[in-house]
Amino acid sequence: MAKIKAIIFDLDDTLFDCTGQLVEAARQRAAEAMAKLIQKPKEEIYLKIIETEGRLGPKADIFGNVCDALSLKNPQECINAALHAYNSDEVEKISLFKDAEPLFRRLKKQEIKMVIVSSGLYSRQMRKIQMLGLEKWMDLILIHDIEKEGSKDALFEQVMKQFLLKAEEVVSIGDRIHSEIRVGNKLGMTTIQFLHGRYQKTAPKNIMEEPDFKIKKLSEIPAIIKKIEEGKNHKPKIVAIGGGTGLPMVLTALKEFTPHITAIVTVTDCGRSSGVLRKDLNILPPGDIRNCLIALSESEQLLKDLFNYRFSNGVLTDHSFGNLFIAALTKTTGSFEQALKQASQILAIRGKVLPSTLQDVHIHAQLADGTVVCGEDSIIQRTTKPGQLAKRPAIKKVFLRPANAKILPEAKKAIEEAGLIIIGPGSLYTSVIANLLAKGMASSIRKSRAKKVFIANVMTQVCQTHGFSLSMQAREIEKYLGKGSLDFVVYNTKKPDKKTLKRYEKEQSFFMENDLENLKGMKIRAIGADLIANSNEKTKATKQLLLRHDPKKIEKVLKKICENC
């Protein structure tokens, strides 16, 4: 487990009582400045400030709303005066929380770096730090000056760079979930919310504002550090492995209860837009990775729609904008790996999306009659004519060419540190097992202390799993992963309606038999639930509805499994 090597402290309402000692005086100064301009009693304005903040919260445009309530015709001068007075350099007498210095002494003995990253007017924040005597304790002090350009995120990254730290070795502590907690979560740090002051009851808007721990006293921090170093965290690190349409569904479920997600995605696609770009530009196929980036994105819906947009005519027919964007980034940054990092920042994703390997690989399948089928597109045997697929001999084994394609080191590291590894659902061989074929992937998963979960498919697939049952899916996974590797198999219990089943039968696809009795000898715990989404999507090719796993239903099952991660 990661050893904590540094703590980033916020300043106000984290190391001292800012709300009680300074905010009250700042409100009084602001009220007085406004009163001088608009000829109204200071007490009336002060009460209006208190009422507005209580109603709208501390992040709201308090002074703008107060001016609106007072029906001012030209409010900007009044707002500017209030802000200037509120943020003045004047600092009243302040003192550290009583348990701050004992904590600092203990952290010094443990050789844990201590850093302050605070937002505000530079001169005012430095004056507070000097008055509190913090300079003798801190290894680094950084101020995010609100009057200058730059972000708090960059200062957090500067701390890691300066002390050569990894995100998992750093703890971020502060009172504001929209600031230091959000930034810490985004970078992959452990986050602790200090429940004090105006922001302690602010509700998080999303998982990125959810702290890993909450405390009311600084003296609670050493016990939390011990928990972290023992791997006890209610937001486990999760690795999800797959591709196609199955993995994005799992990622949509996962991001609702942990920010520590790593998606490991297959790169064997050679059809449609991905196949064309792969061949023409000599890059890895971007399609499956694009879908995973969108699934984890916290960006505006318009940007997600843009990345998903697929051209329907002209020379770009069937290409998606996201695929073209990733291809362009690969060329401008010089590598597919760097392109994904840049795309991840642009889409503001929660977690990481990684290819299983960076090598140019193709999946091959040897059939029962000895025939070798080359390439994912040939194995899938896509068609736009329903009912035209002919059953062929079953797949005996699949393999990659080149055979020495290695697992991406960052993917290997994520697997080693994971508390839970999820495999599937998706096309068994081309979306799921294709990842396990990269050299070092299966052995890393076997050695990992994480719980391993296989999410089974609802229906069989004609060219890959025709005639398969639940236990046959699980056995095939363990054939490549290693016998006894899986801890859980999650399967669907709800049978689709007859109309849907008949439609699938035309594609030679059938409901997967749940032969639980054949799982007994495999030492796998089977968890069944209704996993089918109520509203299904139509495919562009066939205009038919497809059965999909429901992210919310998957989330409920995975949460139960994660309780002991």
- Token pair 């990842």 in the structure block, residue: 435
- Interacting residues of 477 by C-beta distance below 8 A, sequence separation 6+: 423, 424, 428, 432, 433, 436, 454, 485, 486
Tens digit of each residue's pLDDT (9 = 90 or more) over 10-28 = 999 999 988 776 777 778 8
Predicted confidence at residue 448, as pLDDT, reads 94
Please check whether residue 484 is in contact with residue 519, taking contact to mean a CB–CB distance below 8 angstroms.
no
Q: How confident is the model at residue 540 (pLDDT cuts 50, 70, 90)?
A: very low
Number of other residues whose CB lies within 10 A of the CB of residue 71:
7
Please check whether residue 189 is in contact with residue 168, taking contact to mean a CB–CB distance below 8 angstroms.
yes
- Interacting residues of 96 by C-beta distance below 8 A, sequence separation 6+: 15, 16, 132, 133, 134
pLDDT reading at 348 higher than 90: no
Burial 40-57 (b: 16+ CB within 10 A, else e): eeeeebbebbeebbeeee
The alpha carbon of 494 is separated from its chain's Cα centroid by a whole number of angstroms, namely 29
* 6-17+97-229 carries CATH number 3.40.50.1000: yes
3-class SS of residue 286:
coil
Predicted confidence at residue 73, as pLDDT, reads 74
Could you tell me the pTM of the whole model? 0.71
Please give the helix or strand (H or E) that residue 522 lies within, else none: none
What phi and psi values does residue 352 have, to the nearest 5 degrees? -135, 150
Pairing type for strands 113-120 and 6-9 reads: parallel
**Superfamily designation of domain 238-266+356-562:** CofD-like domains (3.40.50.10680)
Classify 210 in phi/psi space as left (phi over 0), alpha (psi -120 to 50) or beta.
Answer: beta
pLDDT reading at 389 higher than 70: no
Nearest Cα neighbor of 219 from 185, 190, 194 is 194
Please check whether residue 324 is in contact with residue 310, taking contact to mean a CB–CB distance below 8 angstroms.
no
* CA atoms within 13 Å, Cβ hemisphere of 1: 15
Mean pLDDT value of segment 191-202: 90
Domain ranges of the chain: 6-17+97-229, 18-86, 238-266+356-562, 267-355
Signed CA dihedral, 350, 351, 355, 356: sign only = negative
CB < 8 Å & 24+ apart, contacts of 276-284: 276/318, 276/319, 277/319, 277/323, 277/324, 277/327, 278/360, 281/327, 281/330, 281/331, 282/360, 283/327, 283/330, 283/331, 283/336, 284/330, 284/336, 284/355, 284/358, 284/360
What is the distance between the alpha carbons of residues 506 and 459, in angstroms, rounded to a whole number? 13
Tens digit of each residue's pLDDT (9 = 90 or more) over 95-143 = 999 999 999 999 999 999 999 999 988 888 999 999 999 999 999 999 9
Predicted confidence at residue 259, as pLDDT, reads 79
Predicted confidence at residue 364, as pLDDT, reads 96
The DSSP letter of residue 16 is B
Classify 150 in phi/psi space as left (phi over 0), alpha (psi -120 to 50) or beta.
Answer: left
Number of other residues whose CB lies within 10 A of the CB of residue 287:
24
3-class SS of residue 392:
coil
Nearest Cα neighbor of 11 from 252, 180, 245 is 180
Please check whether residue 111 is in contact with residue 71, taking contact to mean a CB–CB distance below 8 angstroms.
no
CATH number of 18-86, picked from 1.20.1250, 1.10.150, 1.10.3470, 1.10.8: 1.10.150
18-86 and 238-266+356-562, same CATH topology: no
- Per cent of the chain over pLDDT 90 is 55
